[in-house]
Amino acid sequence: MKNLALIVLVLAWLSTTSYSTIAQEKLLTNQKPYGKLWTKVDSLLSMNANADSILSKIDRINTKAYKQNDIPSIIKTIYYKAVLISNNRVKGRYDAIAYVELELKQSKGLLTTLLQSMLADLYLKLANDYSYSSSNKDSLTDNIRLWSKNQIKSRINELLLLSLTNEQSKTVDIRTFDVFDGNAYEERPTLFDYLSYYAIENYKTQDWGRFIKYDPMLFSTDYFLSNPEPKYTVQSIYYRLLKFHR
């Protein structure tokens, strides 16, 4: 389970990190299981090998991980593959999104939760890409290349909220991952906490919730929670977080 949290930590730069950087940082490799296979992937990355040869090795690990229902290794392979696709193909962001969307359709449980958060980040990077051009008119197709900014934004919003619906994430102690520093546990003790704050930060980045953030200086927690759940998204997420920890 330790590898899962690290996936969440790197979501913010998922689609912009080069695979050579991945090799240098060794974010997820050289860890059991499949240590030898990941070492081979590291070696290929460090040599700037052909992306297809690297992807074939990652696919081998992915196949083994799925057979064993090894969620940490599955999400790890999906992350690596998405980065490689994004950086090594023309319009790679679109292909990476299509790949992760397909994996999401086939997933369940915590894997679904993490893929929803990962996809939201990929869409955010696409929307912020200077080379991304979209029509002001919504498209009636599933082809994201034709989507408007509003459609991209709607999908991001949907994914961020869906990533917070899995009750199982509330039972996953973040200390199990053993990757957080300082007072991280005090601030975000569960996977649910971490994904919630991740969603909030993304809303703030897009200025979708800049004027509706919950501020404990304005009113007490008891007063805040004594009222119905707010209709505004960021306040609603804070509300659920506070309810969860009461």
**pLDDT for the residue 11:** 36
Alpha-carbon dihedral 195, 165, 77, 59, rounded to 10 degrees:
-170
Q: Is 9 exposed, middle or buried (0-12, 13-18, 19+ CB in 10 A)?
A: middle
Phi, psi (deg, nearest 5) at residue 69: 50, 45
**pLDDT for the residue 23:** 37
**pLDDT for the residue 213:** 55
Asked if 169 contacts 192 with a C-beta cutoff of 8 angstroms, the reply is: yes
Q: How far apart are CA 116 and CA 44, in angstroms?
A: 29
Task: Name every residue whose Cβ is closer than 8 Å to that of residue 231 and which is 6 or more positions away in sequence.
Answer: none
The first and second tokens of residue 7, run together, are 């996936």
Among left, alpha and beta (phi > 0; psi -120 to 50; other), residue 31 is: beta
Q: How far apart are CA 72 and CA 111, in angstroms?
A: 8
Q: pTM for the full model?
A: 0.76
> Three-state SS for 190?
strand
**pLDDT for the residue 16:** 37
**pLDDT for the residue 224:** 78
**pLDDT for the residue 136:** 66
Q: How far apart are CA 143 and CA 215, in angstroms?
A: 40
Residue 183, CB-side half-sphere exposure with 13 Å CA sphere: 2
Q: Is 131 exposed, middle or buried (0-12, 13-18, 19+ CB in 10 A)?
A: exposed
**pLDDT for the residue 135:** 62
**pLDDT for the residue 176:** 58
Tens-digit pLDDT profile for the chain (246 aa)?
434 333 333 333 333 344 333 433 333 344 466 888 888 998 898 888 888 889 999 999 999 989 988 877 888 899 899 999 988 776 888 999 999 999 999 999 989 998 999 899 899 888 877 555 666 677 767 788 888 888 888 899 899 999 999 999 999 877 655 444 445 666 788 889 988 988 888 877 665 444 455 565 566 778 778 788 877 788 888 888 888 988
Q: Which residues sit opposite 173 in a β-bridge?
A: 190
**pLDDT for the residue 115:** 94
Q: How far apart are CA 246 and CA 240, in angstroms?
A: 10
The string of DSSP codes covering 74-119 is HHHHHHHHHHHHHHHSTTHHHHHHHHHHHHHHT--HHHHHHHHHHH
The first and second tokens of residue 187, run together, are 């601030």
Q: How far apart are CA 146 and CA 120, in angstroms?
A: 18
